[in-house]
Amino acid sequence: MKKPSKISVVVPIYNEERTIDQIVKAIEDAEVEGLDKEIILVDDCSRDNSREILKKYRKKYRVLFHKKNQGKGATLRTGFAKATGDIIIVQDADLEYNPNEYKDLIRPILEGKADVVYGSRFMTGRPHRVLYYWHYLGNKFLTTFSNFFTNLNLSDMETCYKVFTKKIFDKVYPELESKRFGFEPEVTARLAKLARKNKCRIYEIGISYSGRTYNEGKKIGWKDGFEAIWCIIKYNLLK
């Protein structure tokens, strides 16, 4: 693989008016080992002031708007279609995940050890905000259930931070279907199939996590957990 020269940061956005400016500034400031940085901001038809805030970034970054709400998976696919980097990373628009950790996430790729890196909230000594116990159990269950089918030993399948080389990304992106939070188990299932053929090396890196409450804008709920279970079965056994 040629030495990477650019990283694309794809940011799905839905009703994040309170954090957009902060997350863009954090991405701008993030150390990426000298790589050029491409920022792609995709609004999923927000109902708050997010769209107006994003308009000021159009001259500097690629800013895309959905005409109707489609879900996180669909929003990511819109952004992925415009990504030109040698490395591609997913960044949520809230402040739960810290862009200062990009340098750690991309290091296994730059060292030629990995094709994909997951940022794990559970295999780390870094700071974590203490919040919902049942969410923690739900995440652990979904990861274990996914691992049962994929034969991967991931500790955090549902993490936002997933980093891809362009080579692996180009193999996975055309197959992606999930419109909502099913993106996480779907992309994991598709990567696992490549890994079983020795075509994809997957690493995990411990990350910090500053979770939000529902009053602060957290969106994922129990219905999304059932969707994730169905997607794990669907994309491991039926696709």
Instruction: Band the pLDDT of 219: cuts 50, 70, 90.
Output: low
Residue 23 CA to residue 40 CA, distance in Å, equals 12
In the DSSP assignment, the letter for residue 16 is -
Residue 97 CA to residue 145 CA, distance in Å, equals 24
| Residue 179 clears pLDDT 70, i.e. is over it | yes
- Looking at residue 215, what is its pLDDT? 63
Both tokens assigned to 135: 């969410």
Alpha carbon 114 to chain centroid distance? 17
Interval 212-228 mean pLDDT? 67
Domain ranges of the chain: 6-238
Residue 223 CA to residue 109 CA, distance in Å, equals 35
- Looking at residue 218, what is its pLDDT? 59
Residue 197 CA to residue 47 CA, distance in Å, equals 44
Both tokens assigned to 56: 């000021």
Q: How far is CA 113 from CA 107, 116, 161, in A?
A: 9, 9, 18
Long-range CB pairs of 135-139, under 8 A, 24+ apart, other chains included: 135/211, 138/222, 138/225
Both tokens assigned to 5: 């020269």
Interval 173-179 mean pLDDT? 94
pLDDT tens for residues 19-61?
Answer: 999 999 999 999 999 999 999 999 999 999 999 999 999 999 9
Indicate if the alpha-carbon torsion angle 229, 216, 120, 66 is positive or negative. positive
Question: 30: helix, coil or strand?
Answer: coil
- Looking at residue 56, what is its pLDDT? 97
Both tokens assigned to 28: 């701008």
- Looking at residue 30, what is its pLDDT? 98
Both tokens assigned to 76: 């990511």
Strand partners, 63: 41
CATH 3.40.1800.10, domain 6-238, yes or no = no
Instruction: Band the pLDDT of 238: cuts 50, 70, 90.
Output: confident
pLDDT tens for residues 78-112?
Answer: 999 999 999 999 999 999 999 999 999 999 999 99
Query: Taking the model in full, what pTM does it have?
Result: 0.92
Question: 26: helix, coil or strand?
Answer: helix
- Looking at residue 40, what is its pLDDT? 98
Residue 139 CA to residue 157 CA, distance in Å, equals 8
Q: Which residues of 152-173 are buried (b: 16+ CB within 10 A; e: fewer)?
A: bebbbbbbbbbbbbbebbebbb
